[in-house]
Amino acid sequence: MTIGREERVAVFGATGHTGRFVVAELRRRGFVPVAVARDGAKLEASGFGGQGVATRTASIDDPASLDRAFAGTAAVVNCAGPFLDTADAVAAAALRAGIHYLDVTAEQPSALATMETFDEPARAAGLVFVPAMGFYGGLADLLATAAMGTWDAADEIRVGIALDSWHPTEGTRITGRRNTSRRMVVAEGRLAPLPQPAPEVSWGFPEPFGRQDMTELPFSEVVLIARHLRVTELHTYLNHRALRDIRDGATPPPEAADGSGRSAQTFVVDVMVRRQGDIRRATARGRDIYAVTAPLACEALRRILDGEVRRRGAQPPGAAFDARSFLQALSPDDLTLEISGEITG
For residue 12, give the nearest of 109, 91, 113, 118 by alpha carbon: 91
How would residue 69 be classed by pLDDT, with cut points 50, 70 and 90?
very high
| pLDDT score of 1 | 36
User: What are the distances in angstroms from CA 297 to CA 18, 301, 331?
Assistant: 11, 6, 13
Taking residues 232-240, what's their average pLDDT? 98
Is it the case that residue 3 has pLDDT exceeding 50?
Answer: no
Taking residues 143-147, what's their average pLDDT? 98
| pLDDT score of 314 | 98
Is it the case that residue 276 has pLDDT exceeding 70?
Answer: yes
How is residue 137 annotated by DSSP? I
| pLDDT score of 340 | 80
Q: Indicate the average pLDDT of the chain.
A: 95
Which residue type is seen at 278? D
Domains and CATH numbers, the chain: 8-134+293-323 (3.40.50.720), 135-289+333-344 (3.30.360.10)
Record the pTM: 0.96
Percentage of residues in the chain with pLDDT exceeding 70?
Answer: 97
Is it the case that residue 308 has pLDDT exceeding 80?
Answer: yes
Taking residues 177-182, what's their average pLDDT? 92
Percentage of residues in the chain with pLDDT exceeding 90?
Answer: 95
Is it the case that residue 345 has pLDDT exceeding 50?
Answer: no
- CA–CA separation, 192 and 207 (whole Å): 33
* β-pair partners for 8: 32
| pLDDT score of 6 | 67
How would residue 344 be classed by pLDDT, with cut points 50, 70 and 90?
very low
| pLDDT score of 335 | 95
Q: In this structure, how many other beta carbons lie within 10 angstroms of the beta carbon of residue 227?
A: 19
Is it the case that residue 307 has pLDDT exceeding 90?
Answer: yes
Is it the case that residue 342 has pLDDT exceeding 70?
Answer: no
Report helix angle 83-97 to 170-178, nearest 10. 100
| pLDDT score of 127 | 98
Q: In this structure, how many other beta carbons lie within 10 angstroms of the beta carbon of residue 8?
A: 17
Express each pLDDT in 29-55 by its tens digit. 999 999 999 999 999 999 999 999 999
User: Taken in order 18, 21, 23, 26, is the CA torsion positive or negative?
Assistant: negative
Please tell me whether residue 84 adopts helix, strand or coil conformation. helix
Is it the case that residue 143 has pLDDT exceeding 60?
Answer: yes
Is it the case that residue 310 has pLDDT exceeding 50?
Answer: yes
